Amino acid sequence: MSEDKFKKEMSKLTPENGFDLVGIDYFSDSEEQLYFIEHFEMYQDALAAKKDRKNTDEYFILYKGPGGEYLSR
């Protein structure tokens, strides 16, 4: 997936408030490689859900920063 498409997909899945746990489907076509798993109000809850996953490298947390920028961990 090109970096532009990946960033566009990330921005589409980033919530206005709170934190979304998102997975990566490496076997998907070039678009819609990211998929929504669950929304959390607190970062600690999203982080705990990520750590509960079998392969944590295939998941990340999306959220908006204080300046409206899209961030992930």
User: Amino acid identity of 53?
Assistant: R
Q: What residue type is 29 in one-letter code?
A: D
Q: Decide: residue 57, CB within 10 A, 0-12 exposed, 13-18 middle, 19+ buried.
A: exposed
Q: What is the pLDDT of residue 28?
A: 75
Tokens 């750590």 belong to 51
pLDDT tens, the chain, 73 aa long: 567 777 888 889 999 999 999 998 888 776 778 999 999 999 999 999 999 999 888 999 999 999 988 899 9
Going by C-alpha positions, the residue among 56, 57, 62, 51 that lies closest to residue 22 is 62
User: What per-residue confidence (pLDDT) applies to 64?
Assistant: 95
Rg of the chain in Å (alpha carbons): 12
